[in-house]
C-alpha cells in the first residue's frame, strides 16, 4: 500500500464519517462529499505516478439540459473565451443527444476523454501530444507546431486550435496562437490536490453529474461506482479505454 | 575631416556606449536571485527550459526555477509587467541583445498577485501610463481576483 493510499484512508476516516453521503440504495452511494474536496498531493519534486489513473464518471441522468456551469467554470479557470463560432476554442461543450425511435433525450458535457490509447498521441509528428504517467493526455505547447493532425484523429472533437493571438495570459494555464489545446483535467489544480473546475462547478449547482477520482484506487468513489452501476465508454469499439465513463447513455 | 570625426567619436565613446546599455527597472526583486547575476545572465534560459519540461511532462511544480518566479520578482513596479518598454526587465535586455523573446506569447508577463492586492492594483496600473503593458496589466488584475 503506497503512502498516498494511507493518506487517503486517514482523510476518509476523519471526514467520511462526519459528512456521510447521499445514499440511494443500501451500499450504493450516489455522491460522497468526503471525496469532493481534496485529492492526494504528491511530495514536492515527486513526478506524477502511473499508480494513479485519473478519470471521470459522468451521470447523464443528473446532468441538467439547460445547465452550462461546467463550461463557464472551465472557460474562467483556463482563460479561454466562450465559443461564438465553430472554429473558436472550446475545451468542453454541452451536447444533447436524442434517440430518434423513442425521442429520449440526454444532455452531457463533452471534452477530452483522456484515453489510455490516445489517437492524438499516435499521430502527433513532433511528440507534442503526450500522455502523462497518471493518464492525463496533454499538449506540450513548446513542441506543438499547430499541424492539427490530432484534431483530425480525435473521435470526440475534443481539441481546438488557437487561431487568434492570446491577449490576457493566465499564470497557471499558458495559451498561445498556433497551438492545439484541449481539456487538461485542470492539471495545475490536480497537482495541488484540487478537483477540476468543472467538477467543482457541477457539484455547486447541486446536479453532481460529474464524479472525479483515481480509477486505480479501490477506495475511491469513482472506482466503487463503476463497479456497482452500468457505465459506458464512448466509442468503446475503437479500443481507446477512455478515462471517462458515462451512466445513462 | 573624416579623421576628426573618428577622433571625436573615439573620445566620446564611453559616453555613448553607456547610453546604449539598457537601464532596467528590475522590479521589487527579492533579497537575492535564485543564482548569482553573472550565472543568470548566461544561463537563465537553460534553467527555465529544464524546468518547463519537468513541469509539463512530469507534473513537478514549485521548483526553485520558474518563469513565473522570474516575473514575480522582476515585473516593473510601474506596469507590473516584464514587458512594455525597453526599461522593463525582460524586454529591455532582450532588445539590447537583439534576441527575440517568445515566452510571453503564451505565458503571463504579469506578476501573480494575491487576491486582496488584485482589487487595488488595476487603478494604479491604468494611471501609470498608456502603453500596452499597462492596459493588459489592469485586465489581468481583475482576472486573478477570480
Nearest to B60 among A47, A168, A169 (CB): A47
* Residue B96 scores a pLDDT above 70: yes
Does B74 contact chain A (CB < 8 Å)?
no
Helices B37-53 and B67-74, interaxial angle, to 10°?
140
Does B64 contact chain A (CB < 8 Å)?
no
Nearest to B59 among A47, A76, A179 (CB): A47
* Residue B14 scores a pLDDT above 90: no
Tell me, which fold does domain A3-247 have in CATH?
Alpha-Beta Plaits (3.30.70)
Closest of B62, B55, B58 to residue A133, by C-alpha: B58
DSSP conformation letters of chain B: -HHHHHHHHHHHHHHHHHHHS---B--S--SS-SS-HHHHHHHHHHHHHHHHHIIIII---S-S--HHHHHHHHS-TTTSBS-SSTTBHHHHHHHHHT----GGGTS--B----HHHHHHHHHHHHHH--SHHHHHHHHHHHHHT-
Top residue of A169, A172, A190 to mutate, by most chain B CBs within 10 Å, is A169
Query: What count of Cα atoms within 13 Å lies in the side-chain half-sphere of residue B15?
Result: 5
Contact criterion met (CB < 8 Å) for B108 and A174: yes
* Backbone torsions φ then ψ of A129, nearest 5 degrees: -75, 130
The DSSP call for residue A111 is E
B-proximal residues of A, 52-111, CB under 8 Å: 76, 79
pTM of the predicted model as reported, rounded to 2 decimal places = 0.77
Contacts of A191 in chain B (CB under 8 A): 59, 61
* Residue B130 scores a pLDDT above 90: no
Q: Measure the CA–CA gap between A203 and A198, rounded to whole angstroms.
A: 9
Mean pLDDT of successive 10-residue stretches along chain A, which has 249 residues: 52 46 50 58 91 96 94 95 89 94 95 97 97 96 96 96 90 93 96 95 94 95 95 96 95
Contacts of B68 in chain A (CB under 8 A): 171
Q: Measure the CA–CA gap between A55 and A57, rounded to whole angstroms.
A: 7
Contacts of A47 in chain B (CB under 8 A): 54, 58-60
Contacts of A46 in chain B (CB under 8 A): 60
Q: Is A84 helix (H, G, I), strand (E, B) or coil?
A: coil
What are the sequence ranges of the domains in chain A? 3-247
Q: Are strands A54-59 and A244-247 parallel, antiparallel or unpaired?
A: parallel
What's the pLDDT score for residue B24? 83
What's the pLDDT score for residue B78? 87
- Cα A166 from chain centre: 24
The DSSP call for residue A117 is S
* Residue B103 scores a pLDDT above 90: yes
Name A68's Cβ contacts closer than 8 Å, sequence gap at least 6: A94
What's the pLDDT score for residue B12? 58
What's the pLDDT score for residue B28? 74
The residue assigned the cell 484541449 is A182
Nearest to A171 among B56, B60, B68 (CB): B68
Task: Confirm if A62 and A207 have CB atoms less than 8 A apart.
Answer: yes
What's the pLDDT score for residue A179? 96
Count contacts between A and B (CB, < 8 Å).
64
Q: Measure the CA–CA gap between A71 and B9, rounded to whole angstroms.
A: 64
What's the pLDDT score for residue B21? 78
Chain A nearest C-alpha distance from B23 (Å): 26
Task: Give the CA dihedral A116, A117, A118, A119, nearest 10 degrees.
Answer: -170
Nearest to A45 among B60, B140, B146 (CB): B60
Q: How many CB atoms lie within 10 A of CB A136?
A: 22
Which three cell numbers mark B81?
Answer: 509587467
* Residue B123 scores a pLDDT above 80: no
Does B143 contact chain A (CB < 8 Å)?
yes
pLDDT tier at B1, thresholds 50, 70, 90: low
Q: What ipTM score was computed for the predicted complex, to two decimals? A: 0.79
Amino acid at each position: 500500500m503506497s503512502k498516498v493510499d494511507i493518506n487517503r484512508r486517514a482523510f476518509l476516516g476523519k471526514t467520511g464519517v462526519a459528512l456521510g453521503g447521499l445514499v440511494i440504495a443500501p451500499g450504493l452511494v450516489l455522491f460522497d462529499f468526503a471525496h469532493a474536496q481534496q485529492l492526494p498531493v504528491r511530495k514536492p519534486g515527486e513526478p506524477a505516478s502511473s499508480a494513479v489513473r485519473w478519470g471521470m464518471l459522468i451521470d447523464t441522468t443528473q446532468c441538467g439540459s439547460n445547465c452550462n456551469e461546467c463550461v463557464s467554470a472551465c472557460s474562467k479557470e483556463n482563460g479561454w473565451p466562450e465559443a461564438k463560432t465553430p472554429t473558436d476554442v472550446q475545451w468542453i461543450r454541452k451536447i444533447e443527444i436524442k434517440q430518434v425511435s423513442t425521442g429520449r433525450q440526454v444532455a452531457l458535457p463533452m471534452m477530452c476523454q483522456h484515453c489510455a490509447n490516445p489517437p492524438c498521441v499516435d499521430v502527433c509528428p513532433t511528440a507534442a501530444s503526450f500522455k502523462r504517467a497518471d493518464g492525463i493526455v496533454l499538449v506540450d505547447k513548446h513542441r506543438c507546431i499547430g499541424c492539427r493532425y490530432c484534431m483530425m484523429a480525435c473521435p470526440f472533437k475534443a481539441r481546438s486550435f488557437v487561431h487568434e493571438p492570446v491577449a490576457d495570459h493566465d499564470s497557471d494555464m499558458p495559451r498561445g496562437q498556433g497551438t492545439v489545446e484541449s481539456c487538461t483535467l485542470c492539471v495545475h489544480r490536480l497537482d495541488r490536490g484540487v478537483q477540476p473546475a468543472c467538477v467543482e462547478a457541477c457539484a455547486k449547482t447541486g446536479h453532481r453529474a460529474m464524479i472525479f477520482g483515481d480509477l486505480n484506487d479501490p477506495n475511491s468513489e469513482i472506482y466503487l461506482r463503476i463497479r456497482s452501476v452500468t457505465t459506458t465508454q464512448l466509442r468503446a469499439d475503437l479500443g481507446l479505454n477512455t478515462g471517462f465513463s458515462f451512466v445513462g447513455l | 575631416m573624416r579623421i576628426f570625426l573618428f577622433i571625436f567619436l573615439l573620445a566620446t565613446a564611453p559616453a555613448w556606449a553607456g547610453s546604449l546599455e539598457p537601464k532596467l527597472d528590475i522590479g521589487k526583486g527579492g533579497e537575492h536571485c535564485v543564482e548569482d547575476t553573472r550565472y543568470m545572465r548566461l544561463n537563465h534560459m537553460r534553467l527555465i527550459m529544464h524546468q518547463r519540461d519537468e513541469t509539463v511532462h512530469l507534473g513537478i511544480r514549485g521548483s526553485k526555477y520558474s518563469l513565473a518566479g522570474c516575473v514575480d520578482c522582476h515585473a516593473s513596479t510601474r506596469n507590473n509587467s516584464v514587458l512594455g518598454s525597453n526599461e522593463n526587465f525582460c524586454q529591455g535586455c532582450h532588445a539590447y541583445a537583439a534576441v527575440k523573446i517568445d515566452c510571453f506569447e503564451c505565458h503571463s508577463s504579469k506578476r501573480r498577485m494575491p487576491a486582496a492586492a488584485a482589487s487595488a492594483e488595476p487603478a494604479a496600473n491604468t494611471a501609470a501610463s498608456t502603453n500596452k503593458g499597462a492596459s493588459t496589466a489592469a485586465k489581468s488584475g481583475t482576472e486573478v481576483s477570480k
